[in-house]
Structure 1
Amino acid sequence: MKTLSKLLLVTLLSVTLAFGLNNTAQAATVHTVQSGETMWKIAVKYQVGVSELIEANSAIKNPNSIYPGQKITIPTDKAGSSYEEQVVQLVNQERAKVGLKPLKSNWEVARVARYKSQDMIDKNYFSHTSPTYGSPFDMMKKFGITYSTAGENIAAGQATPKEVVNAWMNSDGHRKNILSSQFTEIGVGYAKGGNYGHYWTQMFISN
């Protein structure tokens, strides 16, 4: 059976389109609260969103009041995170081939990208414009991401990091985003499910 796949990209520079939380069970880590810690500090330490941390600990009635010795569940998606990290590595390998500096992985941007990939599954669409969050640029701002330049690549149907990076690199517009000297940071979000089986989002920024 032929595998369906799609690619889409957008950059703030051109503002043109070129067509070219994961549904699986999540593992969890348990953290013991130390003196002086807050939910926000714990979220930053483990590179997760505060809202996800609170959701994973719904038994805690007042998230603003936690105490030393208390057990906090840290939500993690090791399989998805591994895929996302591999995409970043492959992107930086491509950049190195042409003498570009590597992009720094930004977990906060990756969190936004992950939400975007999952949103495409949940709302059954494939587009840069989300019915939930709006444009990629609006979405980043809603999540508190600041930038001077930003861009997004999305894809669906590719089953592995290598497949999706190869697909992006074989598309002129997507390759330009990956090999742009203007971007300095990247966040990758992967989600499994939906009509195409695998959804990928790359978000690029510079400040």
Structure 2
Amino acid sequence: MLKSIIVQISTLFLISLILFSCTKEEEVFKTSSDKIGVLIDTTSVTCTSIETEILDLVNEHRKSLGMQTLKPLTIISAVAESHTKYMIETGEVNHDDFYLREQALVSEAGAKSVAENVAYGYVSASNAVNAWLQSESHRNIIENPNFTHFGISIDTNTEGRNYFTQMFIKK
């Protein structure tokens, strides 16, 4: 059973790395990794409006504190998407297998450190960001001055509820 779950997660991770993410820059990753075992090509993916709004709201918050803004990075959003899909499949907001996402970002994006925020059920970008900012642990991630890049993934389950995965890295 555990092997089946690992295979399913790995398959979802690989598919989502190929198909999903968002970026505001022309950053392209085409790489082959023995750990991931797939060509990652993020050239054809785009952000949804709510994902873009979350990226903007996080940077507006950081800027209001005199902090550096974060740069969106396609590969981060692709990795976040794999977890968003997993949470929808399990029906639970969680940080399961974070170390796999962390390893992928260390390997493929040159991350020195990685963190993530997750959420469920919010209908707007501002509601999700405000909830993260009201939580000390989530706010500490958003306000961490060491992070340089970030990505976001939002998807909706069959009942119409949004699931969010926001990831941050230090390069």
TM-score when normalising by structure 1: 0.58
SS at match of 1:44: coil
Q: Which AA in structure 2 matches 1:83?
A: I
- 1:1-207 matches, cutoff 5 A: 44=28, 50=39, 76=45, 81-129=48-96, 134-135=97-98, 137-142=99-104, 144-193=108-157, 197-207=161-171
Aligned partners of 1:190 and 1:199 also within 8 Å: yes
State how far apart, in whole Å, the 1-side matches of 2:83 and 2:109 are: 14
Q: Which AA in structure 2 matches 1:82?
A: S
Larger Rg: 1
Q: Which AA in structure 1 matches 2:141?
A: N
How far is 1:149 from its partner? 1.4
2:13 corresponds to: none
How far is 1:164 from its partner? 0.3
How far is 1:50 from its partner? 5.0
Percent sequence identity over matched residues?
26
Deviations 1:173-205 (A, max 9, x none): 111111110111101111111567100011000
Deviations 1:76-124 (A, max 9, x none): 5x6x622111111000000011100000101110111112111110232
Q: Which AA in structure 2 matches 1:148?
A: K
Relative to its length, the structure with more helix (as a share) is 2
SS at match of 2:163: strand
How far is 1:126 from its partner? 1.7
SS at match of 2:28: helix
Size of the alignment, in residue pairs? 138
1:99/1:52 CA distance change after superposition, 3 Å: closer
User: Cα RMSD (Å) of the superposition?
Assistant: 2.8
Relative to its length, the structure with more strand (as a share) is 1
Any gaps of 5 or more consecutive residues in structure 1?
Answer: 1-20, 27-42, 54-73
Aligned partners of 1:192 and 1:198 also within 8 Å: yes
How far is 1:146 from its partner? 3.0
1:50/1:159 CA distance change after superposition, 3 Å: farther
